[in-house]
Amino acid sequence: MAREKFERTKPHVNIGTIGHVDHGKTTLTAAITATLALGGTAVAKDYSDIDGAPEERARGITINTAHVEYETEARHYAHVDCPGHADYVKNMITGAAQMDGAILVVSAADGPMPQTREHILLSKQVGVPNIVVFLNKEDQVDDAELLELVVSAA
């Protein structure tokens, strides 16, 4: 059966989430879709919908890249959620090679970790032109000075 013809009406951008294991990349991806779903430009995806393989669910980590699509009023996005575990860096490189820009997710509780640094380096090596840093898990920080800096910067 023939599929409906896809007509692109908006500029397309490939973005993705990168960073150290357990810093919240898949959770952020799910939150982006949930937020955009409120405006009707995306279908909300649960964390478990993104990390859908049985081994990923059992271990609680991303192993393979996952692709999620959504839109804003201005653009259509293909979002690649990359694994952060060192054992799956090959999969992260494959995902990053497709990106026009990346969201580097960093846990405020942990700060930059070994995979954080490696993902920055590898992203640049495969030609990702822009990286935005997303500071996650600020609610887990018990450092009043750091929290003040984050709140005042927002």
| Structural domain spans, the chain | 12-153
Predicted TM-score of the model (pTM): 0.85
Q: What is the DSSP letter of 85?
A: S
Alpha helices in the chain (DSSP H): 25-38, 47-50, 54-59, 89-96, 114-125, 144-153
**Rounded Cα–Cα distance for residues 91 and 98 (Å):** 12
Helix orientation angle between 89-96 and 114-125, rounded to the nearest 10 degrees: 40
pLDDT tens-digit series, residues 26-47: 999 999 999 999 999 999 998 7
Q: Which CATH architecture has domain 12-153?
A: 3-Layer(aba) Sandwich (3.40)
Q: What percent of the chain has pLDDT over 90?
A: 56
Active-site amino acid positions: 22, 25-26, 85
Least confident of 13-17, 79-83, 84-88, 133-137: 84-88
Burial classification of residue 121, based on how many CB atoms lie within 10 Å of its CB (0-12 exposed, 13-18 middle, 19 or more buried): exposed
Q: Which residue has the higher pLDDT, 149 or 94?
A: 94
Enter the tokens of residue 14.
């490939």
DSSP structural state of residue 107 = E
